[in-house]
Structure 1
């Protein structure tokens, strides 16, 4: 596949799987032995079924999730993506009960594509910012105020 075709394949992940919630697309665009590297999931995610479960956990927590692809860059089999995601915290996330808070998060991902399928992804997003927006981690200003008390 060309770099442009790889970009269009990768774009389907945030748009169809994450924003639309169409997890059937996982079988179309991910290799069976796909590996996800995510610092918030230290054990890693391997295979299509685990990726569907990973997506479901976040979509259950943020059922109105909407991802905007800000930029895609491709070279060879690699595609880099910068995105902004928004959603309302309406379900449990990592043991955090729903807060009803609207959250905006930015992130970047690096994908590898082989024979028309995504084989590997590294993701890094502002998890600390999400926890701050949910009110479970104090901001630097709030910490400074606590020290002054």
Structure 2
């Protein structure tokens, strides 16, 4: 299969930006079915919907996007107030700010087909006054 051209890589970056702005920040979970492959969209719903319930005011700042072949590497800073239960903990009403997150999104036919992420969850727990 030929390597994606620059226009395709730019389109992949645009999908990643839409994921952050429209879904993660905007709360439009219906967009997941348009950004992810049919196989991965339900998985994304199972992760993102509960996170949004826990942190309905979440803000994600895109720090860096790197486009390479069929993959976008993304670095974010995440902030929010815990207003719902999260990982077995009752809402604290406390805020966390600028938690670092990094993701790799692999695309197939313009949609996110694979996602891998790493977040500083331990620091998020600490800032919320929680114990893992």
TM-score in terms of structure 1 length: 0.80
Which protein is richer in strand relative to its size?
1
In structure 1, the partner of 2:112 is 118
Q: Give aligned pairs, total.
A: 125
Partner of 2:37, secondary structure, is strand
Question: 2:3: which partner in 1?
Answer: none
The Cα shift of 1:137 comes to 3.1
- What is the alpha-carbon distance in structure 2 between the residues aligned to residue 122 and residue 32 of structure 1? 17
The structure with the largest alpha-carbon Rg is 1
Deviation string, structure 1 residues 46-76 (Cα, Å, up to 9, x no partner):
xx22321311111111010111111100011
For residue 70 of structure 2, what is the aligned residue in structure 1? 77
**1:100 aligned residue:** 93
In the alignment, what sits opposite 1:64? 57
Distance 1:69 1:127 in 2: 18
Q: Which residue of 1 aligns with 2:47?
A: 54
Q: State the distance in 1 between where 2:77 and 2:30 align.
A: 23
68, 83, 89: which is aligned to 1:90? 83
Distance in structure 2 (CA, Å) of the matches to 1:75 and 1:54 = 25
Q: How far does the alpha carbon of each residue in 1:93-125 deviate from its partner, in whole angstroms, 9 at most, with x for none?
A: 011111111112110000001101100000000
Q: Distance in 1 between matches of 2:70 and 2:26?
A: 26
